[in-house]
Structure 1
Amino acid sequence: METIVNTTSGMIRGLELAGVVSFKGIPYAAPPFGKNRMYPPLPHSSWEGVRDCIDYGPTAPKGPYESPFDKILPEPAIAGEECLNLNVWTPGTEAKDLPVLVWIHGGSFLNGSGAVSTYDGTNFARDGVVCVTINYRLGADGFLFLDDGISNLGILDQLAALRWVQENIAFFGGDPHKVTIAGESAGAMSVGTLLSLDAAKGLFRGAIMQSGAAHHYLSAVTAKKVAGYLAEALAIEPVRDQFRAVEVDRLVKSTSDLASQPQAKPDLAKWGEITLNLMIFEPTVDATVIKAPPIESIRAGAGDDVAVLIGTNRQEFNFFSVPTGVYEAINSAVVAFGAMAFGLDADKLAVYQKLLADEPQGEVFSQMAGDWFFRIPAIRLAEARQDAKANTYLYEFQWQSQMFDGRLGACHALELPFVFDTLGVLSEGISLAFVKGPQELAEEMHSSWVAFIKNLDPGWDTYSTDDRTVRIFGGGSRIEKDPRGETREIWKGLR
């Protein structure tokens, strides 16, 4: 059955199915092409009549995932210029004052979209939450830094989407005062960035970060180098007008080629902090949109009135090392080199080797890298909020995937279908979600997220430096105090 809603830009038509109404491909800003390309988002013009919002709208320009990740990650690509769009699932447009979830997708700031079937918001709506998934500009169009006063366009897109929610979500039964933003990986890094910004104040009351925090940013110096390398590859000058003149597909291809270089040819002098974090585009500390590193702003009190739920997966880095075959190739010499790169001396590395004495060296490296990249930043964000007005909760996901003969474990992104309660949803192609995980764990995790979105309390004690309470999902769900405290301790002063 069709449902029509009036928004600030015009009337839209959605579809009701099994008690949930969905509206897909709603534009929240003008198409970022033509005269608008590589400039901050502008309001979308109004339209006459009723606009069909039955199918997902265009996705932001992007390349495919590199092999072998193209075989395990769903990546719908939908052509069209109106890529700054969002999707809404609601229990009903006649409802009032419902809590709202706004989901920001991951993908290393190069990939992803709100149209991934794992992010289907039907079951959040079923449980009384208005769910919104958004697109934002990716790659050079979204995160190129030229030191010309215009930057972090992908973050500005996210802010524009959140302002659209403030102005329109009541038409869908949502309460603009009860918004929680959430994301995974680059989406969680975006949430950590938004939490730190004055410009985002008042746009949300809750923030959920899954496998990403507020340590993930580029300095202006490094980001400007990336722009120079990309300009060199394109045989242009590193100025905005010349980048804007490059055909979209050509820019995407050159960006993808450049993105593979830091891992293929590590060079600290060339890549700076990218040598370790391996992402050529991230939010940039530009002194205008992002005035300071997000974690520093949060330590100074930014977002202290926002409740936070943050966590990581037990074997995050296996996602990157197992499918590529790197996991098996890692030996003790590689582990020692990695430890040195992360700033760990021999005594600190010995802590990992002792705790993982029965595991292959690939697992030792994976745990060490996963801690540097994901787990320790999550803990640091929680520690930074010890005096915050609002609460902070920590979780860890430990359910073990049986993909790749069980070596994948509780890897990066594996928790997503559990959070959305979409284990039974068929993704495009083969995906991490195709392994039939326990539905009871999906219900457990999903209901905790719903509780946080509704009440800003997921159902366990807050995190403090006194007892370090962490909720474990999977592997015998339970509460633990300071899990793997030995490895947490060794990163003091390093991360």
Structure 2
Amino acid sequence: MGEQPRVRTEFRTAGGTVRGVRSADGVAAVLGIPYAAAPFGVNRFCPPRPAADRSAPLDCTAFGPVAPQSAELPGSPVWRPGDEDVLTVNVWVRPPSDAAPLPVLFWIHGGAYTFGSSAQPDFDGTALARAGVVVVSCNYRVGFEGFGHVPGFPDNRGLLDQVAALRWVQENIAAFGGDPGNVTVAGHSAGAGSAVCLMAMDAARGLFHRAIAHSAPHGLFTVEAAAAITSRIAAAAGVAATGPGLLSASPQALVAASDQVAARCEADPVTAVQAFDPVVFQPVIDGEVLPLDPLAALASGISREVDLLVCHTLEEYWFLHEVGAVREVASEAGLAEFAEALALPAELVAGYRALMPDAPVLDRYLAILGDAVFGEYGSRLAEQHARAGGRAHLSRFARRRARPGGGTRPWHTADIPFAFGNLDAAGADFLIGGAPDAPDRALSRRMLRAWADFAARGDPGWPPVTADGTPVRVWAVPDDHLSDDGACAVRALWRDVPLYAEREAAAGLVREPTTTSSPTATLPARRTSK
């Protein structure tokens, strides 16, 4: 199928006129609109500052540059040293034929708070725009620039960037036909973690009205843990772990140093889970930007006015193992070491053995880690939000595909091309196990419709979680079904078990380095999601 003809189209924003393109079916794409000033030079490590107004129209037909990172993702731009105007938003919309404004879906990309961008092909908002939603996506600072602890500067700068982008939506989305009074924040993985952090932040209060969190990780740092990681990165970069010292290191140097520190986490972690999943950047519970763990915040009722839709995949960590992003544990002794490190009770480990009697140790390990980081956390987010008086819906992605030599699991990231309606995007074939078939396309239509309906009215099409019950929509082919978590054997194993991040935050656990940092350490394999 050939390219659809495109024509120029203009929108007037508060900062000046922007020019995008409109396809033959009426969907306009306006890409790379600055929502804040470049966060470098005098703005480096600072909260986002306003973008300059423009007198001349701005051509917005290509994505803006990505934030400093080392990742090279399929079909996506890469960061090049010298790229600075990284704080941009993109808008897709089919302008309404009447005066009624459209609901807005604000997308936050994932990438372990370390890499990724809004330009990834499976995040194209065209299909959702056809469904009657204005889609906005944003780039924000990742890695050390966005989440590294820098003395004298705010933590969680990447989250503050997202808040600035949401303010841009409030000020400008009406010009695109969107309703600033009906904004849904949505994200996957680190983007979903960001979304639930925004629910806990005073700075984001009133800027959105619903939240969609797919595979939100329970990954958070104390200030002490973040500072310990900064010390290691600074040593690897050859600078002092102070504000002036870190400002003297180029973004490129800090990207390389961060990769070196991540490569050493398995042998020398700062927090226990880093020995198994070497993520070195996460939101910091600093008491200011992010006052407390989002799970505790939701349980307090602080965001009960925000509707919440949660989803996770059934086998999250099989993908991260496939791409070499996590440590392999394949022996009973290794599994016991893992359980001890995360303070998981023996009964829980034995319970997984009983539920998976024929599974190899690796599969049991990946199942426990996936539920500890994603599955149980997401389920608790929905339940705590509902018990505190909020409205929450819960779903799980269970779609599988058999193929010669094995099959495709319902693993991390596989659900996103379905929900966006982008099954044919570059890289989607790996995530979903080959070319989509008719049942896949039908599932995609159902998931996309659920997102659009939730963004419009807060109802994705199945009952909400209540104080007394947890109904769950299970996405599958050929048909979905509604499940009850009251009868879920895996959930029963986790009853009364604290999540590892809760334990580490409460205890303030930080491990001192056991080796001297070396700037010549081996870089890690390329991470591709989370």
Q: Within 2, Cα distance between the matches of 1:330 and 1:317?
A: 14
Instruction: Tell me if the contact between 1:426 and 1:434 (Cα under 8 Å) persists in the aligned partners.
Output: no
**What CA deviation, in whole Å up to 9, does each residue of 1:240-266 have, x standing for no partner?**
222122122121111112122223x14
Structure 2 SS opposite 1:103: strand
Tell me how far apart the structure 1 counterparts of residues 106 and 244 of structure 2 sit (CA, whole Å).
33
Rounded to whole Å, the distance in 2 between the matches of 1:266 and 1:169 is 47
**Pairing partner for 2:145 from 141, 148, 160:** 141
In the aligned structure 2, how far is the partner of 1:305 from the partner of 1:142?
28
Within a 5 Å distance, the mapping from 1:433-472 to structure 2 comes to 435-437=434-436, 438-472=440-474
Q: Is the 8 A contact 1:111 1:138 kept in 2?
A: yes
- SS of residue matched to 1:182: strand
Distance in 2, Cα, partners of 1:144 & 1:218: 11
How far is 1:379 from its partner?
1.5
Q: Report the Cα distance in structure 1 between the residues aligned to 2:75 and 2:487, rounded to whole angstroms.
A: 33
The answer to whether the Cα contact below 8 Å between 2:300 and 2:388 also exists between their aligned partners in 1 is no
Alpha-carbon distance in structure 2 between the residues aligned to 1:8 and 1:304: 31
Farther-moved stretch of structure 1 (151-160 vs 233-242) = 233-242
Q: Is the 8 A contact 2:150 2:246 kept in 1?
A: no
Q: Do the aligned residues in 1 keep the contact of 2:396 with 2:475 (CA within 8 Å)?
A: yes
1:200 aligns with 2:207: no
Partners of 1:88 and 1:132 within 8 A in 2: yes
**Of 481, 487, 491, which aligns to 2:490?**
487
Aligned partner of 1:114 in structure 2 is: 118
Q: In the alignment, which residue of structure 2 is the partner of 1:232?
A: 235
| Cα pair 1:322 1:408 within 8 Å, conserved | no
The 3 A distance-change label for structure 1 pair 325 and 24 is closer
Mapped partners of 1:205, 1:248: distance in 2: 35
TM-score by length of structure 1 reads 0.92
Q: Which moved more, 1:328-337 or 1:385-394?
A: 328-337
Deviation at 1:275, TM superposition (A): 4.2
Letter in 1 for 2:394: L
Task: Name 1:152's counterpart in structure 2.
Answer: 156
1:130/1:174 contact within 8 Å kept: yes
Tell me the equivalent position of 2:22: 16
1:70-469 equivalent positions in 2, closer than 5 A: 75-77=76-78, 79=80, 80-92=83-95, 96-212=100-216, 215-263=218-266, 265-267=267-269, 270-271=270-271, 274-275=274-275, 278-324=278-324, 330-401=330-401, 405-406=405-406, 408-427=408-427, 431-432=430-431, 435-437=434-436, 438-469=440-471
Shift of 1:60: 0.7
Contact 2:301 2:390 in 1 (8 A): no
Q: Unaligned regions of 5+ residues in structure 2, if any?
A: 1-6, 500-530
2:316 alignment partner, SS class = coil
Cα deviation, residue 335, structure 1? 2.5
Give, as a single letter, the amino acid of the residue that structure 1 aligns with 2:18.
I
**C-alpha contact 2:219 2:283 (8 A) present in aligned 1:** yes
> Tell me, what secondary structure is at the counterpart of 1:40?
coil
Amino acid at match of 1:86: V
Code of the aligned partner of 1:9: G
Give the counterpart letter for 1:462 in structure 2: P
Amino acid at match of 1:448: A
CA contact (8 A) 1:93 1:172 kept: no
Tell me the CA shift for residue 152 of structure 1: 1.0
User: 352-361 or 17-26, which moves further after superposition?
Assistant: 352-361
Moved more, 342-351 or 307-316: 342-351
Alignment partner for residue 3 of structure 1, among 2, 9, 16?
Answer: 9
Deviation at 1:131, TM superposition (A): 0.2
Give the 3-state SS of the residue equivalent to 2:372 in structure 1: helix
Cα 1:277–1:463 shift into 2, 3 Å: farther
Residues 83 and 136 of structure 1 are in contact (CA less than 8 Å); yes or no, is this contact kept in structure 2? yes
| Aligned residues of 2:37 and 2:85 also touching (Cα < 8 A) | yes
Report what 2:519 is aligned to.
none
**1:137, 1:402 → 2: CA distance?**
39
Local SS of the residue matching 1:76: coil
Q: CA deviation at 1:146?
A: 3.0
C-alpha distance after superposition, 1:366-422 (max 9, x if no partner): 111111000111111122113344310000001125589435511101101001000
The 3-state SS of whatever aligns with 1:411 is: coil
Count of residues in Structure 1 that have an aligned counterpart in Structure 2? 484
TM-score, normalisation: structure 2: 0.87
Contact 1:403–1:435 under 8 Å retained in 2: no
Amino acid at match of 2:8: E
Equivalent position amino acid for 2:42 in 1: K
The secondary structure found in structure 2 opposite 1:459 is coil
CA gap 1:407/1:360 in 2 versus in 1, 3 angstroms: farther
The 8 Å contact of residues 40 and 84 in structure 2, kept in 1 or not, is answered as yes
- Mapped to 2, the partners of 1:23 and 1:47 lie a distance apart of 16
Deviation per residue, 1:154-175 (Å, 9 max, x gap): 0100000000000000000000
SS of equivalent to 2:212: strand
* Aligned AA (1:218): F
Q: Deviations over 1:352-373 (max 9, x none)?
A: 1111112222211111111100
Q: Is contact 2:344–2:497 with CA below 8 Å preserved after alignment?
A: no
Shift of 1:38: 1.2
3-state secondary structure, aligned to 1:354: helix
Q: Retained in 2: the 8 A contact 1:149–1:288?
A: no
Would you say the 8 A contact 1:198–1:302 is kept in 2?
no
CA contact (8 A) 1:222 1:273 kept: no
Q: How far apart in 1 are the matches of 2:447 and 2:294?
A: 28
CA apart distance, 1:494? 2.1
The 8 Å contact of residues 101 and 181 in structure 1, kept in 2 or not, is answered as yes
- Aligned residue for 2:90, secondary structure, equals strand
Q: Counterpart of 1:444 in structure 2: which amino acid?
A: R
Q: Which moved more, 1:224-233 or 1:354-363?
A: 354-363
Q: Equivalents in 1 of 2:406, 2:449: separation in Å?
A: 27
Q: How does 1:473-484 map to 2 (within 5 A)?
A: 473-475=475-477, 476-482=479-485
Partner of 1:48: helix, strand, or coil? coil
Aligned letter for 1:382?
Answer: A
Identity across matched positions, percent: 33
Distance of aligned partners of 1:43 and 1:90 in 2 relative to their CA distance in 1, 3 Å threshold: same
The alpha-carbon deviation at position 328 of structure 1 amounts to: 8.2
Structure-2 separation of matches of 1:362 and 1:262: 20
CA contact (8 A) 1:322 1:407 kept: no
SS in 2 for 1:450: helix
Whichever residue aligns with residue 447 of structure 1, its letter is R
SS in 2 for 1:471: strand
Aligned counterpart, 2:509: none
Deviates more, 1:288-297 or 1:221-230: 288-297
Structure 1, unaligned runs of 5 or more: none
Alignment partners' CA distance in 2, 1:238 and 1:272: 23
**Structure 2: how far apart are the matches of 1:153 and 1:47?**
25
- Superposed, 1:18-57 pairs within 5 Å as 18-57=25-64
Aligned mates of 1:224, 1:370 — CA distance in 2: 27
Letter matched to residue 471 of structure 1:
R
Q: Please, what is the CA RMSD of the aligned residues?
A: 2.2
